[in-house]
Structure 1
Amino acid sequence: MAIHSNSKTKNKRNFTYCFLNICKENRINNKTNQIIMEAEINLTPERIKEVFKVLESKGMIYFSESGFYVPEGSGWKLLFGRGPVKEEIKAFTSEKLKLKDEKCLKITKEEKIDDSTFAIKADKGAKDLSTEFKNELRKGKMVNVIIEVDGIKDTIIAFGSADLKLKDDKSISIRRDDKIDDSTVAILSNRGVKDLKEELKKKLKEKDKQVKIILEIY
């Protein structure tokens, strides 16, 4: 976890406020309370890490890629987030790509190509996404799909769904409609592969260039 020492006073107060509230609600012992109170006076990156370590050891806070959580009667509550949940996929271009499908975009580990395929020899299929990312997808949140080749980028907007299966270990697809199969990671996208920027499509049709695909959930 990266904590910048030049954080503004307001951010420091927010950290301390969160810590103190957790401590009050969980009736921590005097030693932990002393650490927290010292943090309020001198909130350095090292002190923050020390406080987090104590809180985590007592089951009073939980870390994930998406943020910091505290326990409630009904489960874990997000205390504050750490930005979007991301997955990065690496794949390759191909001079054989068609890029004709208006309703779908597909990444595949294989070299088989259909009208929706925009990258091959990928390092992940839908099944390979992290458990946390899959859970966030199934909450129906907005997904940004960023495709980049040689610095040329385009972004597709789509949405997750509670009905996603995420079982395909060879392909990932983003659909413009709401049809779902084992490879689908997002639906109701604003574009299909045919609608990508022309400049990017030209790059995708070159031979064996690396494609970086980033999936972001906010």
Structure 2
Amino acid sequence: MSSTDRRPLSRRITAVAAAALIPLGAAGVAWAATTDNMFPTAYTGSYCATGMGVGQPCQTDDREVYFYMDSSGEYELESPDRAAVNSAIDDEYRPTDLAFHYDSSPVFSGDGETDIIYQEGSTGLPSNLDGITWCNAKGHDNKDCDQQYIRIRGNGHYTHGLTCHETGHAVGLQHGDWASPQLSRTDTRLGCMVTPVGSNAGLGANNRENINATY
């Protein structure tokens, strides 16, 4: 579906359930969604708020997702960090209905801001978190964000799994206790959206279904 055709929650849940019955790919494998963990659900507010401390995911504002990896200054990503971002996007998100594009000339204000900015650093991160995602500029409605920031600690914390997790938040995926029906935050059916997340965790069938049903 298009990013502007935001269906009501009940219709999204129906679509996710129906999608589980449709074989996908040459091998005829059906992806079955276990729960709806795409913002918003019955367990989250129906609004997207800005600010680093909000702690609530927003959907991104279009299926065409433009991203940038900070290349200078305090939050510059080093080579292993950049590799983690590229592998998570290539292996986990490009096979979905989202289309990711690297933006070598990022836009930070006004219309058409770059959708996701990846940073490496710990400034502003609570001591119990290795990474955080927040909305910097709201989109055209109360569900989506025009520009989101992902900040992950350095020194080995920028892994495939954690990058997959924080990118999931940037497209609207939530933890299990905010899903409908609710799941444990450690339920393995949540793929890389489990907490804590393993370094090699992948997106998984449930998250792919929810992304494709939304975008």
Q: TM-score range by the shorter chain?
A: under 0.3
* Larger Rg, first or second structure (1 or 2): 1
The structure with higher relative contact order (CA 8 Å, sep 6+) is 2
TM-score by length of 1: 0.21
Normalization by structure 2: what TM-score?
A: 0.22
